[in-house]
């Protein structure tokens, strides 16, 4: 006879294979007898996701894409991993273009490998190893862990719990589901799918490389991290003296380079509050940033310092009014924007010989011609539309405001299990990342509100995502 007092084993599904899914699995509360099923396109490479993917050996851009911050800022023990795996990293990078080891030399001279902007593929390897260790630990604890390389196509709920259907026709049952399917896609711009255009960078590398090699002048819509990746891609297939690369955006402003220096310091913000308004809070943040700059701090120290501060204290304590707090992220996102040191330095160096340049203006039309593209750029300052010619255009303009999410996220929004915050522009979930459907949790970089906490800095940051995944599991353990 079944003892009704004995809690029945739990079955939890995690959908996704990136950093968020890995962190949810690593800190999950499953006990002996429970089942954890990870469903992702590449769940067997859990932790890599979209950003830290393993490119095939033969691709010249295999190790071209770099982390945007120094190794010891991205995960507490990743700096040490780089030190421990240095020989392998070094031999993989010898002779590669762009010359990553050359750019690393000043750091190697003072034995500061932890300060390097490491190729993202290595961070993927580190995350994958971490996930494997976590799964081994769970199994040793008696948890039945299943890894399913598949696409989750639908999630439904009935009296018995949840039913997840996969593209290969598997039907997986569970009493709890975590959705960690990543952020929204790049916004589309009319005409970006023409013969001389790529609607996004990732997945279109081969075609972009072909055009860069034929000598096309490459235009990137956007002056952000993806544009920096596009430059690295071009550098990996074209000698620098043949490169013609333009980045454009409405403000034409590049991010500040995140430069690790020794000794590693963090800005220590002195914010008292509570502040009545977002405006008052932001004024004090700005004052703190100016003080930090006067004391000699650069964006790396400031950004990492504010991130550590907000992880510890949250925003609610300073701006208790949720309505006001929701006005903070869109400004802080710009103020604390930082980018990859190596690539920003390369961009600047190459601009001195006119191989790279920044053009200010918002692309309002892309028109394909027989041998390239005509672009119309709207200049804010004059309100004039100015024509330009390009050999090939890459849309790196980011997600925009009309977020285009993956189908599973869209289905949660349509059913009101999660909602879009019209002020912060991101996804709003409950305490512990719970959705309005009990048993379903959601975490992605586009999450801007968790319970009554507004994320002051975007979760497009591996360390912040891991932090909030851990907190979600701690919340569950307490419930
Ligand atoms: C190109 C790029 C570079 C970045 N660089 C940095 C950096 O240098 N430093 C930093 O801190 N942050 C960086 N970020 C921010 C990044 O968003 C986070 O660090 C983190 O990788 C996001 O993890 P995630 O698990 O939420 O999403 P993702 O990495 O997107 O993972 C979600 C995964 O779920 C899979 N998936 C989606 N739908 C389904 C489905 N229905 N069924 C099965 N699987 C599905 C997707 O294929 C994807 O692999 C970068 C992001 C990108 C996109």
* Ligand 1 mean position, distance from CA 281 (Å): 31
pLDDT of amino acid 8 = 64
pLDDT of amino acid 2 = 41
Query: Which atom belonging to ligand 1 lies closest to the Cα atom of 463?
Result: 11
Q: Which string of b and e fits 323-352 if b means at least 16 CB within 10 Å?
A: ebbbbbbebbbeebbbbbbbbbebbeebee
Preceding peptide of 274 cis, ω within 30°:
yes
Which one of 61, 117, 460 would you pick to mutate in the ligand 1 pocket, going by the greatest count of ligand atoms within 8 A of its CB? 460
Distance, CA of 160 to CA of 135 (rounded, Å):
27
Give the DSSP H or E segment for 221: strand 218-221
Residue 363: name the closest of 188, 185, 183 by CA: 188
Distance, CA of 26 to CA of 137 (rounded, Å):
9
Q: The tokens of 231 are what?
A: 């430059």
Q: Can you name the residues that pair with 12 across neighbouring β-strands? A: 36, 176
Which one of 394, 462, 464, 472 would you pick to mutate in the ligand 1 pocket, going by the greatest count of ligand atoms within 8 A of its CB? 462
Q: The tokens of 479 are what?
A: 């419930």
Distance, CA of 94 to CA of 116 (rounded, Å):
16
Query: Which atom belonging to ligand 1 lies closest to the Cα atom of 22?
Result: 25
pLDDT of amino acid 199 = 95
Averaged over successive runs of 10 residues, the pLDDT of the chain (479 residues) comes to: 57 98 97 97 97 91 96 95 98 96 97 97 98 98 98 94 97 97 91 94 96 96 96 97 96 94 96 94 98 98 97 96 93 94 97 97 91 89 88 92 89 96 87 97 96 95 97 94
Q: The tokens of 54 are what?
A: 């393993």
pLDDT of amino acid 258 = 97
* Residues 318 and 273 sit within 8 Å (Cβ to Cβ): yes
Question: In the chain, what are the domains?
Answer: 1-185+404-479 (3.50.50.60), 197-255+339-395 (3.50.50.60), 257-336 (no CATH)
Q: Is the CB of residue 406 below 6 angstroms from any atom belonging to ligand 1?
A: yes
Which one of 15, 50, 300, 340 would you pick to mutate in the ligand 1 pocket, going by the greatest count of ligand atoms within 8 A of its CB? 50
Q: Is the CB of residue 184 below 6 angstroms from any atom belonging to ligand 1?
A: no
35 three-state secondary structure? strand
pLDDT of amino acid 6 = 53
pLDDT of amino acid 1 = 41
Q: The tokens of 455 are what?
A: 């994320």
How many Cα neighbours within 13 Å face the side chain of 237? 24
Q: Give 45's DSSP letter.
A: G
């Amino acid at each position: 006879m079944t003892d009704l007092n004995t809690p029945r084993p739990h079955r939890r599904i995690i959908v996704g294979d990136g950093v968020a899914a890995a962190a949810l699995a690593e800190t999950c509360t499953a006990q002996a007898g429970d089942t954890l099923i990870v469903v992702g396109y590449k769940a067997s490479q859990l932790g890599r996701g979209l950003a830290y993917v393993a490119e095939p050996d033969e691709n010249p851009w295999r190790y071209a894409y770099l982390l945007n911050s120094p190794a010891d800022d991205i995960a507490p023990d990743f700096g040490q991993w780089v030190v421990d795996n240095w020989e392998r990293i070094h031999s993989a990078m010898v002779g590669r273009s762009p010359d990553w080891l050359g750019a690393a030399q000043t750091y190697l001279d003072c034995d500061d490998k932890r300060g390097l902007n490491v190729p993202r593929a290595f961070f993927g390897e580190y995350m994958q190893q971490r996930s494997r260790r976590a799964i081994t630990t769970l199994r040793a604890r008696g948890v039945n862990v299943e890894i399913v390389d598949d696409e989750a196509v639908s999630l439904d709920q009935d009296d018995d719990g949840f039913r997840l259907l996969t593209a290969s026709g598997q039907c997986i049952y569970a009493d709890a589901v975590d959705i960690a399917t990543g952020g929204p896609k790049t916004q589309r711009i009319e005409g970006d799918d023409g013969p001389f255009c790529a609607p996004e960078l990732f997945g279109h590398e081969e075609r972009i490389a072909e055009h860069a090699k034929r000598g096309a002048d490459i235009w990137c819509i956007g002056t952000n991290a993806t544009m920096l990746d596009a430059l690295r891609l071009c550098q990996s297939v074209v000698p620098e003296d043949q490169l013609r690369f333009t980045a454009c955006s409405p403000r034409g402003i590049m991010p500040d380079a995140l430069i690790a220096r020794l000794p590693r310091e963090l800005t220590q913000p002195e914010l008292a509050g509570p502040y009545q308004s977002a405006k008052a809070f932001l004024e004090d943040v700005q004052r703190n940033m100016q003080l930090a700059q006067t004391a000699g701090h650069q964006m790396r120290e400031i950004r990492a310092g504010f991130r550590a501060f907000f992880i510890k204290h949250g925003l609610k304590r300073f701006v208790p009014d949720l309505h006001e707090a929701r006005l903070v992220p869109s400004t802080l996102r710009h103020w604390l924007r930082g980018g990859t040191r190596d690539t920003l330095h390369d961009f600047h160096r190459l601009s001195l010989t006119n191989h790279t340049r920044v053009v200010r203006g918002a692309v309002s039309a892309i028109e394909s011609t027989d041998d390239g593209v005509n672009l119309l750029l709207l200049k804010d300052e004059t309100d004039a539309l100015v024509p330009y010619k390009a050999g090939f255009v890459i849309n790196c303009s980011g997600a925009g405001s009309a977020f285009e999410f993956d189908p599973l996220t869209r289905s949660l929004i349509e059913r009101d299990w999660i909602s879009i915050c019209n002020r912060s522009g991101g996804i709003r979930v409950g305490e512990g990342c719970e959705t309005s459907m009990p048993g379903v949790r959601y975490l992605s970089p586009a999450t801007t509100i968790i319970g009554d906490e507004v994320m002051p800095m975007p979760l497009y940051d591996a360390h912040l995502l891991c932090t909030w995944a851990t907190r979600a599991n701690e919340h569950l353990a307490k419930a």
